[in-house]
Structure 1
């Protein structure tokens, strides 16, 4: 069984990036969605990227962005991967010529395997809890029984994950990767080094 990878999202401080990397994070997420309490500006992102060492993937999160905003970010921030967390169609997601993942909010009766066919160029799909009017970061879980299994797709589990439930979550869903933000925070946008370390240690005991 392959190792479950981990992205820590919503980083806003260089010291949090350093702590996330030290804890063993595979990917780091920066939020370019101004309404979010974890959003960063382009200038902040430039500073944060300087704290990222080699072999760690950087991910930029967008929600229904104007293409010009994505281009403005990419002109100064050398992101490895884009993450679209709104109602973006495939044409928008792929036009930036960067690998991308698409977030799917697990609305009642949504079949993620069927829904994923709308983005054939996506590198993977992040499944998050559905809360009306909130594009992500709800801190809520969805029913893990709905998580797809037995497909070749790279499914990423998100929503309400914490150091206390991550081991159970991985056992229940067997995801390619997990994505955590609020579950490892001291306060909104401020990460807790202890929680990040515990989260990754509990994610796959002995792997890191």
Structure 2
């Protein structure tokens, strides 16, 4: 079964629907340049609504160590997700396991060549944005550029929605799919109809098989 991660949630009602729909991971954003960035207090309130069988993922992008530490203490994420130029030792230094986002926009070959720089990553997240750009851009990339085999799980992100997620699953066979702008009516404001449609499309793709 393909895992589903809804990212960039900012409202309790959106989070509650994500839980109802049975997603596997919920992403809370702390990247300074993101319109979906949360304060610690607001994030802690959302975190309290996430049940134990759903992973809470805290998204960072070149946040200073003290900010990451404050998020870990206040929000208690299950996973940290890093989108910036953070080295492996930094990402692994806060306690929770980490996922490393790989920017596939611009120079995908160069990005893939750096996978070995992150031996501590529990998983990779291949996103459509270019290096230095924040996630949630809504940009797809060429899924056929991904390696045929990896030594750990990976997720796809960037430009996904209910209309193309089945094609992405059949092309790349990822461990999980990460969606943000594809289920929104505005940045940080999720659309219930799009949320439901995305989950249904993933489940149909899984049921259809290869």
Q: How does the TM-score come out when normalised to structure 2?
A: 0.92
1:113 Cα deviation from its structure 2 partner: 5.0
Q: Corresponding residue for 1:46?
A: 44
- Tell me if 1:35 matches 2:16: no
More helix by share: 2
Q: How does the TM-score come out when normalised to structure 1?
A: 0.93
Count of residues in Structure 1 that have an aligned counterpart in Structure 2? 206
1:206 Cα deviation from its structure 2 partner: 8.1
- The answer to whether the Cα contact below 8 Å between 1:10 and 1:181 also exists between their aligned partners in 2 is yes
- Tell me if 1:20 matches 2:18: yes
- The answer to whether the Cα contact below 8 Å between 1:112 and 1:148 also exists between their aligned partners in 2 is no
1:96 Cα deviation from its structure 2 partner: 0.5
Once the two structures are superposed, residues 111-154 of structure 1 have per-residue CA deviations (whole angstroms, 9 ceiling, x without a partner) of 55542111101000000113364222110101111122233321
SS at match of 1:120: coil
- Tell me if 1:94 matches 2:77: no
- The answer to whether the Cα contact below 8 Å between 1:131 and 1:138 also exists between their aligned partners in 2 is no
Distance 1:16 1:197 in 2: 11
| Alignment gaps of 5+ in structure 2 | none
Distance 2:42 2:83 in 1: 21
1:67 Cα deviation from its structure 2 partner: 0.4
Q: Corresponding residue for 1:4?
A: 2
1:21 Cα deviation from its structure 2 partner: 1.3
* CA 1:122–1:132: 2 relative to 1, 3 Å: closer
Q: Corresponding residue for 2:179?
A: 180
* CA 1:109–1:165: 2 relative to 1, 3 Å: closer
Distance 2:139 2:108 in 1: 18
1:157 Cα deviation from its structure 2 partner: 0.5
| Alignment gaps of 5+ in structure 1 | none
1:194 Cα deviation from its structure 2 partner: 1.4
SS at match of 1:95: helix
- The answer to whether the Cα contact below 8 Å between 2:166 and 2:205 also exists between their aligned partners in 1 is no
Task: Give the 5 Å matches for 1:1-208.
Answer: 3-106=1-104, 107-110=106-109, 114-131=113-130, 133-205=132-204
Moved over 3 A (4+): 111-114, 130-133
CA RMSD in angstroms, aligned pairs only: 1.7
